[in-house]
Amino acid sequence: MPALVLLGAQWGDEGKGKATDLLGGSVDYVVRYQGGNNAGHTVVVGDQKYALHLLPSGILSPGCTPVIGNGVVVDPSVLFSELNGLNERGVDTSKLLISGNAHIITPYNVTVDKVTERFLGKRKIGTTGRGIGPTYADKINRVGIRVQDLYDESILTQKVEAALDGKNQLLTKVFNRRAIETGQVVEELLTYAEKLRPYVADTVLVLNKALDDDKVVLFEGGQGTLLDIDHGTYPFVTSSNPTAGGACTGSGVGPTKISRVIGILKAYTTRVGAGPFPTELFDEDGEALRRIGHERGVTTGRDRRCGWFDAVIARYATRVNGLTDFFLTKLDVLTGWEQIPVCVAYEIDGKRVEELPYSQSDFHHAKPIYETLPGWSEDITKAKTFADLPKNAQAYVKALEEMSGAPISAIGVGPGRTETIEVNSFI
Ligand code: GDP
Ligand code: IMO
Ligand code: MG
């Protein structure tokens, strides 16, 4: 039975946390499959606001088992501070499962992330500084530390030694930093071993058995399609695969089990960090989107870059993810604009281009070609059905759907769990 993937269709911060939380009541498992605490997912339940970084948003739904899959990178200190924060607010986190194959973000990887960015100077990526890239690099270089390594001190010591061998050369000779001692790192990592033990499980087996038993499993992406290491705006990307295929490799569930892939799509566009962004606005409209949409990073507190909706990107997300549906968020933020421009194609070297160019240089100087749609001024935050929306808001949604290549099955009209119009049911 159904495995659903819910992922970001743009550059992250589309409202994945809210969408996962909304479905959380009807699903049995919510699985994070990639990324780590670079994510910042805001969930508003009644008058309570939660900011989750590493934990799946399903942790807020009683009855749902949250799972951190093998594709995630785990910073144990962040994990425990997030768990403690939720426990203090009365949230039961005891059902959490963590894959023994998930890689650990070690303190030296956080250091390497920060010094690398500093070293890149104005060419920096603008990472979240959480050690994500270096941890995935260690994984691919086969010198990573996995959760299961914490349960064999001798193996752990050998692995940390192997990882630090090259890194200490780099830190001392290139970055002019002090070398990191194996013993110190091992000691720190071992302090987490027993605390982690109750959560560690063979999550591949658990999830596949659950699907055999007709349970509903929801995969929650971090980041977004354009931040994907393979399909995003490389090198201005994160170091994992937020796209749909990542849900399979990052959890050990085969693609034949996935029944639906839902792209979370903001009614306009935002981006955090460096990299190309054709519809970015540098005027008062951009400022207004940032202010009205509260577009400030949940993880790093950086202002998000803001721009109009880009249908070229949405079509691309439909293609690379095989999207079956969109969940359109933050439509309410656009209330009050008389006219709303939407990017329908790019102009590159004087030519009209309908699809995302594969060439990085072309994308860097793509100019948006806009169509302007009429806006609305009525408050839409209380709308419960599509028919409750003003005619122009309906037309805006329909136009986006037409341009983006998949049905819009839900519409967010406010940050709260209930501020959502469900057009087609997901489960
Ligand atoms: P995520 O990283 O994709 O989970 O998204 P973030 O939580 O970083 O950013 C999305 C923000 O938009 C959060 O503050 C949400 O509470 C908020 N949000 C989500 N959906 C809606 C919506 O439909 N309307 C409004 N006004 N805010 C929303
Ligand atoms: P959620 O899940 C928006 C961006 C960073 C940087 C690039 C690489 O909340 O949508 P990294 O630390 O991952 O190596 O940084 O990716 N980035 C995000 N931008 N939302 C996120 O997560 C992001 N996670 C990483 O700003 O440009
Ligand atoms: Mg976010």
Please tell me whether residues 212 and 178 are part of one structural domain. no
Residue 165 included in any domain: yes
Active site residue 139: yes
Mean pLDDT of the region 107-120: 95
Please tell me whether residues 192 and 210 are part of one structural domain. no
Residue 377 included in any domain: yes
Please tell me whether residues 156 and 172 are part of one structural domain. yes
Last residue of a domain, one of 175, 196, 217: 196
Mean pLDDT of the region 106-123: 95
Last residue of a domain, one of 163, 179, 196: 196
Rounded-to-integer distance, Cα 347 and Cα 376, Å: 29
Please tell me whether residues 174 and 236 are part of one structural domain. no
Instruction: Kindly report the pTM of this predicted structure.
Output: 0.97
Q: What's the 225 CA to ligand 3 centre distance in angstroms?
A: 13
Decide: 231 in ligand 1 pocket, CB within 6 A: no
State pLDDT tens for residues 339-371: 999 999 999 999 999 999 999 999 999 999 999
State pLDDT tens for residues 364-400: 999 999 999 999 999 999 999 999 999 999 999 999 9
Number of domains in the chain: 2
| Averaged pLDDT score across all residues of the chain | 97
> What is the structure's pLDDT at 1?
56
> What is the structure's pLDDT at 427?
85
State pLDDT tens for residues 59-71: 999 999 999 999 9
Q: Report the CATH number at residue 343.
A: 3.90.170.10
Residue numbers of the domain that contains 177: 103-196
| Helices (H), ranges, 121-231 | 132-140, 153-169, 182-196, 203-212
412 labelled ligand-binding:
yes
pLDDT band at 42 (very low <50, low <70, confident <90, very high): very high
| Helices (H), ranges, 49-128 | 76-88, 107-120
Rounded-to-integer distance, Cα 11 and Cα 26, Å: 27
Q: What's the 52 CA to ligand 2 centre distance in angstroms?
A: 14
Decide: 222 and 34 in contact? Cβ < 8 Å. Answer: yes
Residue 271 included in any domain: yes
Last residue of a domain, one of 127, 162, 196: 196
Decide: 336 and 375 in contact? Cβ < 8 Å. Answer: yes
Q: For 263-316, what is the HEC assignment?
A: EEEECCEEECCCCCCCCECCCHHHHHHHHHCCCECCCCCCECEEECEEHHHHHH
User: Would you say residue 410 has pLDDT above 90?
Assistant: yes
Mean pLDDT of the region 240-259: 98
Mean pLDDT of the region 201-219: 98
Residue 339 included in any domain: yes
Please tell me whether residues 370 and 248 are part of one structural domain. yes
Please tell me whether residues 29 and 62 are part of one structural domain. yes
Name the residue among 422, 425, 331, 412 with its Cα closest to residue 44: 412
Residue 98 included in any domain: no
Please tell me whether residues 218 and 152 are part of one structural domain. no
Cis peptide bond upstream of 235, omega within 30? yes
Active site residue 53: no
Please tell me whether residues 268 and 222 are part of one structural domain. yes
Residue 26 included in any domain: yes
Rounded-to-integer distance, Cα 127 and Cα 373, Å: 35
Of 41, 103, 159, 266, the catalytic one is: 41
State pLDDT tens for residues 130-163: 999 999 999 999 999 999 999 999 999 999 999 9
- The ligand 2 atom nearest the CA atom of 299: 9
Please tell me whether residues 288 and 393 are part of one structural domain. yes
Please tell me whether residues 207 and 238 are part of one structural domain. yes
Rounded-to-integer distance, Cα 412 and Cα 328, Å: 6
Residue 262: its H or E element: strand 258-266
Q: What's the 343 CA to ligand 2 centre distance in angstroms?
A: 23
32 labelled ligand-binding:
no
> What is the structure's pLDDT at 299?
86
Please tell me whether residues 118 and 89 are part of one structural domain. no
40 labelled ligand-binding:
yes
| Bridge partners of residue 261, in order along the sequence | 5
Q: Report the CATH number at residue 187.
A: 1.10.300.10
Mean pLDDT of the region 33-48: 95
In total, the chain counts a number of residues equal to 427
Please tell me whether residues 213 and 131 are part of one structural domain. no
